[in-house]
């Protein structure tokens, strides 16, 4: 079996379909991405594994005595959808700059909309990678995700909705010329935001924000400077938050244009999706596909957990 270094780097959907012509080829590719030549039991993590004979590729562990396939313990676990369709879905949602809706994916793969939505949510689960701690200059800002009150039905409008009432706040931390970390939060208070910022940014790092009062305690542990948006000050030398606001623009255009509406329960997965694409923007389409595929080999999400949280 070839190693990951020999894997082909796909640059288009046509190349993907032209290479993955059978389910067996897909399983071999997944096995290489997952184990890189050393098959490991997903139940007990033993490497004492033997390959069984048969039409489908199966393995037997001599540690726990269980049999398994390459999809066990991954996002493909117990899925009746073929790996060929899964690979196309991963490629589409990863390569499309603003994502792809479940309705469109259902038509592209010839599956139901419900199945397509579940596929997309499981793919988004792979984007939930633990962010590294930022050590260079960062920009921190927050935004609100939610519909405009003027567009809502009368019985769903919220009275006195100023200040983001009825919307979900999202905190974003962007390293200049680097990666971004974003996460939905309960509110914009210092008590809610400060622990996240302290955890994700190394002490002594230069931080640029706006004048929001929750950022004032940052001066104790960081080199903190800010611009005053309320006074129409948006850039003061190197001090600005234009980078993180650019990411907010990408996120909101994607949600408004493709998904239209997302629930608070699943918002974090959509945020992770746009974060993944932004952080891997320098990679080729094939490389992003393999990164997403590799992330999905150690995650599993069943429908009951997805719905009930």
Task: Output the tens digit of pLDDT for each of the chain's 309 residues.
Answer: 444 444 556 788 999 999 999 999 999 999 999 998 899 999 999 999 999 988 788 999 999 999 999 999 999 999 999 999 999 999 999 999 999 999 999 999 999 999 999 999 999 998 876 778 999 999 999 999 986 666 667 666 666 655 566 789 999 999 999 999 999 999 999 999 999 999 999 999 999 999 999 999 999 999 999 999 999 999 999 999 999 999 999 999 999 999 998 999 999 999 999 999 999 999 988 899 999 999 999 888 999 999 987
Would you state the pLDDT for residue 242?
A: 96
Q: How many CB atoms lie within 10 A of CB 49?
A: 17
Collect all residues with Cβ–Cβ distance below 8 Å to 193 and sequence separation of at least 6: 142, 171, 185, 214, 215
What pLDDT score does 1 carry?
Answer: 43
pLDDT at 10: 76
pLDDT at position 236: 94
How far apart, in Å, are the Cα atoms of 159 and each of 141, 144, 155, 212, 215? 26, 17, 11, 24, 28
Phi, psi (deg, nearest 5) at residue 106: -60, -40
Helix (H) or strand (E) holding 279: helix 267-279
Say what the pLDDT of residue 2 is: 43
Identify the pLDDT of residue 166. 75
Asked whether the beta carbons of 244 and 175 are under 8 A apart, the reply is: no
63, 94 in Cβ contact below 8 A? no
Which pLDDT score, from 0 to 100, does residue 6 have? 45
Q: What is the pLDDT of residue 214?
A: 94
């Amino acid at each position: 079996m070839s190693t990951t270094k020999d894997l082909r780097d796909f640059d288009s959907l046509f190349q993907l379909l032209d290479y993955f012509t059978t389910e067996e080829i897909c399983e071999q590719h997944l096995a290489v991405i997952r184990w890189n030549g050393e098959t490991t039991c997903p139940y007990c993590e033993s490497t004492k594994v033997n390959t069984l004979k048969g039409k489908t590729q199966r393995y037997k562990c001599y540690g726990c005595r269980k049999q398994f396939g390459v999809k066990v313990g991954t996002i493909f676990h117990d899925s009746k959808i073929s790996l060929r369709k899964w690979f196309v879905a991963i490629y589409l949602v990863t390569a499309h700059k603003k994502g792809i809706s479940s309705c469109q994916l259902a038509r592209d793969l010839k599956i139901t909309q419900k199945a397509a939505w579940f596929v997309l949510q499981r793919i988004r689960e792979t984007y939930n990678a633990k962010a590294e701690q930022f050590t260079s200059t960062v920009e921190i800002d927050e935004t609100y995700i939610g519909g405009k009150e003027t567009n809502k039905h009368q019985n769903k409008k919220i009275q006195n909705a100023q200040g983001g009432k009825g919307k979900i706040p999202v905190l974003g931390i962007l390293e200049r010329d680097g990666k971004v970390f974003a996460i939905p939060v309960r509110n914009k208070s210092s008590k809610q935001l400060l622990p996240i910022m302290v955890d994700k940014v190394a002490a002594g790092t230069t931080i640029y924000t706006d004048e929001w009062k929750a950022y004032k305690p940052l001066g104790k542990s960081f080199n903190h400077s800010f611009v005053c948006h309320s006074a129409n000050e948006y850039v003061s030398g190197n001090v600005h938050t234009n980078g993180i606001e650019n990411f907010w623009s990408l996120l909101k255009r994607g949600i408004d244009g493709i998904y239209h509406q997302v629930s608070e329960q699943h918002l974090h997965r959509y945020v992770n999706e746009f974060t993944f694409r932004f952080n891997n923007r320098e990679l080729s389409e094939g490389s992003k596909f393999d990164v997403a595929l590799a992330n999905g080999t150690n995650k599993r999400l069943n429908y009951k957990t997805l719905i009930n949280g």
